[in-house]
Structure 1
Amino acid sequence: MKKIINTNLIILATSLFLFLSACTEGFEEMNIDPNQPVVVPTSSLLTSAQRELVADLFGNHDQLDGVGLPAMIYVQQIASLRGGFSDTYATVEEDFSTFYTSGLKDLEEIITLNTNEETMVNAALSGPNNNQIAVARILKAWAFQNITDVWGDIPYTETLQGNSYPLPTYNTQESIYMDLLKELSEAAEMINPGEGNISGDIIYEGDMDKWHRFANSLKMRVGLRMSKVAPDVAALAVSEALTAGPMNSTDDNAFYQFLESQPNNNPWFFRFELSVPNYGVGSTMVEMLKSLNDPRLEKYADPAFNQDLGGGFIGQPVGLDVASGSAISDFAVSWPNAQNILQPTSTFTIMSYAEVEFILAEAVERGWIPGNASEHYNRAITASMEQWGITDPSAISNYLTQEEVVYDTSDPIKSIGNQKWISLYMQGVQSWCEWRRLQIPELDIAKDAVIAAIPRRRGYPPSEINLNKSNYEAAVARQGTDNLLTRVWWDK
């Protein structure tokens, strides 16, 4: 009897083991949340990276202003309704951490997933590996140039490497610029349009021919920025990029397209339609456009709402503190154009064919490349007009033949600088950079300024001062006092 009982126990235990094994088979798969995938498609990472980097530059629906907004105020293209701290240069520090923790991090992950042999097959579901890597490197170069142009020396080589460098050192802007040229050259060479397009791309919808032209155009921008401090390097970079093939029409413009609904709609729509309007078109911009009978005025701005206070296009006075600014009615000045700038789906410019032609005009004048500078200059203005919806050939021709607009061979850089400043409207960091490099147009210091001159950079964020103190102090000792007036490397 005992033997029979033991046999029955063995059979029961075995059956129970098999039952439990069957119940737990596939348990891990059953407990994977389909809404929280373990592996994120690289197409999603690319979309996220573009969205986050644009937010860092232009702002987002959460009222993150982005570094481009104070830059536009500094160069007097817009001004705060009711005055403000940026208008009087009272705000020094600006945070750069989100560039690293969101957009740049996503781009680095794209490169890793497309490089690692264990993940590159799945990554290729979003497009050819090399094309994805190339686009990620191009966008990294674009982002890092914006960051270094705002702050100067920044963390660069020791960033985006997980926990390897929790307190990264700061690289000099000179070394960063040299590496950006290398990155853009190599990325452009990696692109093979014949292998296919990529997915998740908001800017060019995966068109690799356009990404190739953008990479070369961006290399021109990087090169030209060094015109005063490394002219030989700048000349070579522009010449190489021209040979490789930059943008050649407005169809190549790099735009970011916002969507209809939050959180992906245009931050300027949020600022004016879902919040209290805070910005008018700067009086400096309005008066220059009016003096030139520039047809872009009605594309950049709307007439003032209150016609009883003068009506027409009236710029918001620039450089006012809160007390002075609050004395002016919000409705007595022009706001940004509702149709072109304040729609939820408005597009914002990352780089344009007009800028490329301005670069070529200046490169000819500096003797870097052969060609006709005035022809490039005229094509640049024409491209800017077309970009903003002015297609009437006679309107463009009439503008180009005005005495104040005709290319001045006796002072060509002034002609280029003035028109480039106009064309870079709403591209805050770029318009500020070009003004710092050329100091054209001539701008007066803010009426209620709290410092002695227009800002040349932004101060480092308090988080770096407190948490990365030794590397922060080394950068300041090398670069100069951490304030708004210390110039970055290329701004000499």
Structure 2
Amino acid sequence: MFVGCSTTDDVNLDDHAFYNTTQESLLTYAQKELSDYMNTPSVNENNFRLTMQYWTETIYVNESNYDFTNRNVSNNVWTDNYVNVLKNLDQAEGIINAYVPAPSELTTWPGKKKNQLAIISMMKIYTYQVLVDTFGDIPYTQALNIDAYPLPKYDKAADIYADLITKLKKNISDLDSSQKAFGRGDIFYYDPSPTIDGSDIVKWERFGNSLLLKLGIALADVNPGLAQTTVNQAITGGVMTSSGDNCQFKYLGASPNENPMFQETGSRNDFIAGKTLVDFMNTNNDARISSYYTDIDGDYIGQVIGTPGEFEEFSNAGDFAYTATTPGMILSYTEVLFYRAEAAARWGIGGTPATLYADAITSSFTHWGASGAAAYIAAHPYNAANWKKSIGEQAWVAMYNQAITSWNFFRRLDYPQLVAPSTAIPNADGKVPVRLQYPAAEATTNGSNYAAASAAIGGDKLTTKIFWDIN
């Protein structure tokens, strides 16, 4: 899974270089890499804006038609998350556990250490959920110990979920807001105020409970008992309460630390608006459309998905995609409100479905600086008789800039009812993909474990459903 080199001689070492690092720098790197993956529109890595029919491509329409093998997309997703994120977090964890505090730190280090380990673990949990939700069964228990397991086995996706929930509950209980954590190394929740001067542990607690809610909701159809207890605990523990709790990476205005959307769109004209969402928003008089897309002489025009189109003839992504400092979203308050609306609709947990549905839409309007949320909600009220359609369609619109998250709503709720382009590759079987195929590198280098995993999930296909996607 990981490629490197080793030698008995020190030919690869610079005697004048300092090879040690700190947990803070590894955390910063892992946070940026995670955000880069979740937010990039690079066709080599994250094509979910295309899959969810928000955008389509101008000239090279392979990925809009679900050809992800031409650019080895799965290999890149695997490396992004396992190597760039998880392995760096694992290294940070090792440094924390090996650290011997100075005498002056003996009273403060235990609490700081617990906070650091809890934050590292929560980031691992988030990343593993992304990988499970993308591929199904994946390496987990053996994944990061390359010395002992150079060819790691694949664990059952359902077992991974159960373990993530158990670990996350402990992480949340370990957090202590009276103690420090990572200081400026924590980009997600750094607070410079004198009383905190570092990681905002209260916000990390809300993130942890919100992530627990996300894990629980994912299991709603396949394991409703575990789903309900998990969701109950998350909401009782305290999830995000405003957009100020958003987990996001704060990008800078200079290379190489701009938002990856800006890096992809700033020098190329590869993407145009997808007709599916543009038509839906036009039909529903959605004021957010002026933030989502540019207009063509006052109109918003999307191209048929999978069909080439001239950049100047169709709407493009809005200004946010051409702004270097647009934050990279990891988990948002709007997303959490939609989970809460779903929990209330399914089980009567945590509030009134219609109220939470309206709150989620309002939060999205506010985030995009759009007016008219109340009128929009009045025109598109919550439908208790078909709540999956209400929540699924509105989450699809709201998650426009969180396409990987949108894909989860789509698969779990079966709304919106997206139609694959007629030009889609045969391997898609006329359907919108519900998973990515395993990396080709796994088939060639970890063949026996790959073969076992492929058989266990029902075949390594774009149409094989993730374990929780049973409807």
TM-score between the two structures when normalised by the length of structure 2: 0.88
The reply to whether residue 55 of structure 1 matches residue 36 of structure 2 is: yes
Structure-2 residue corresponding to 1:210: 203
The aligned residue for residue 63 of structure 2 is 86
| Partner Cα distance (1:335, 1:318) in 2 | 14
2:123 and 2:464 map into 1 onto residues whose CA distance is 27
RMSD of aligned residue pairs (Cα, Å): 2.2
Match of 1:414 in 2: 389
Alignment partner, residue 116 of structure 1: 98
Q: Corresponding residue for 2:243?
A: 250
Quote the offset at 1:110 in angstroms. 1.9
Q: Deviations over 1:340-388 (max 9, x none)?
A: 2221111122111111111111111111515211111111111111122
* 1:314 corresponds to 2:301: yes
CA distance in 1, matches of 2:406, 2:101: 41
Match in the other structure for 2:45: 66
> For 1:255, what is the secondary structure of its paired residue?
strand
Q: Secondary structure at the match of 1:397?
A: helix
Structure 1 residues 295 and 224: alpha-carbon distance in aligned structure 2, compared to 1, 3 A threshold: same
Q: Which amino acid aligns with 1:185?
A: K
Q: Would you say the 8 A contact 1:120–1:129 is kept in 2? A: no
2: distance between equivalents of 1:98 and 1:361?
Answer: 32
Q: Is 2:27–2:88's contact at 8 Å kept on the other side of the alignment?
A: yes
- Output the CA distance in 1 between the equivalents of 2:139 and 2:225: 26
Q: Which residue of 1 aligns with 2:10?
A: none
TM-fit CA distance, 1:65: 4.0
Cα pair distance change 1:161/1:293, threshold 3 Å? same
Alignment partners' CA distance in 2, 1:41 and 1:370: 41
Letter in 2 for 1:477: A
2:333 partner amino acid? Y
Give how far 1:125 is off: 8.6
The change in CA–CA distance for 1:64 and 1:186 in structure 2 (over 3 A counts) is: farther
What residue ranges of structure 1 are gaps of 5+ in the alignment? Answer: 1-30
Kindly provide the CA deviation profile for residues 160-191 of structure 1, in whole angstroms up to 9, marking residues without a partner as x: 12411110000111011111111211111111
- Who is 1:303 aligned against? 295
- In the TM superposition, residue 54 of structure 1 has moved relative to its aligned partner by 2.1
Task: Answer yes or no: is 1:270 the counterpart of 2:271.
Answer: no
* Counterpart code for 2:421: A
Whether the aligned pair in 1 keeps the contact of 2:345 and 2:384 (CA below 8 Å) is: no
Distance in 1 between the 2:92 and 2:202 partners? Answer: 20
Residue aligning to 1:463? 441
Question: CA offset at residue 479 of structure 1?
Answer: 0.9
Counterparts in 2 of 1:361 and 1:152: CA distance versus 1, 3 Å? same
CA shift, 1:126, in A, is 13
1:197 Cα deviation (Å)? 4.4
Q: State the Cα deviation string for residues 455-492 of structure 1 (Å, max 9, x = none).
A: 11111111111110111011011112212111111111
Contact 1:126 1:198 survives alignment (8 Å)? no
Say if 1:84 and 1:64 are closer, same or farther in 2 by CA, change over 3 A: closer
1:21 maps to what in 2? none
CA distance in 1, matches of 2:234, 2:350: 14
Which whole-Å deviations, capped at 9, do the CAs of 1:96-150 have from their partners, x for residues lacking one? Answer: 0232222111111222222235479999899911111111111101111111111
Instruction: Tell whether the 8 Å contact from 1:253 to 1:352 is kept in structure 2 after alignment.
Output: yes
Is residue 282 from structure 1 mapped to residue 274 from structure 2 by the alignment? yes
Deviations 1:411-443 (A, max 9, x none): 122111111111111212111111111110111
- Supply the distance in 1 between the matched residues of 2:45 and 2:68 (Cα, whole angstroms): 14
Does 2:461 match 1:486?
no
* Residues 60-459 of structure 1: pairs in structure 2 closer than 5 A: 65-67=44-46, 70-92=47-69, 94-95=74-75, 96-116=78-98, 118=100, 128-199=112-183, 200-205=185-190, 206-274=199-267, 276-304=268-296, 307=297, 312-320=299-307, 325=308, 328-338=309-319, 340-390=320-370, 392=371, 395-402=372-379, 405-451=380-426, 452=429, 453-459=431-437
Does the C-alpha gap of structure 1 residues 164 and 64 become closer, same or farther in structure 2, counting only changes over 3 Å? Answer: farther
Specify the structure having the higher radius of gyration (Cα). 1
Q: Equivalents in 1 of 2:110, 2:27: separation in Å? A: 10
Structure 2 residue identity aligned to 1:436? R
- Partner in structure 2 of residue 28 of structure 1: none
How many Å separate the matches in 1 of 2:93 and 2:348?
Answer: 34
In the TM superposition, residue 300 of structure 1 has moved relative to its aligned partner by 0.9
Identity %: 31
What 5-or-longer segments of structure 2 have no aligned partner? 1-13, 191-198
Letter in 2 for 1:147: L
1:263: how far off?
1.7
Amino acid in structure 2 at the alignment position of 1:344: A
In structure 2, C-alpha distance between the alignment counterparts of 1:56 and 1:72, rounded to whole Å: 13
Partner of 1:24: none
Report how far residue 410 of structure 1 moved: 2.0
Cα distance change on mapping 1:157 and 1:277 into 2, 3 Å: same
C-alpha distance in 2, partners of 1:146/1:221? 11
One-letter amino acid matched to 2:362: T
Partner AA of 2:332 in structure 1: S
How far, CA to CA, are the matches of 2:122 and 2:84 in structure 1? 16
> What amino acid is aligned across from residue 236 of structure 2 in structure 1?
T
Give how far 1:56 is off. Answer: 2.8
1:281 Cα deviation from its structure 2 partner: 2.1
Q: Is the 8 A contact 1:252 1:352 kept in 2?
A: yes
Specify the alignment match of 1:3 in structure 2.
Answer: none
Matched residue count: 438
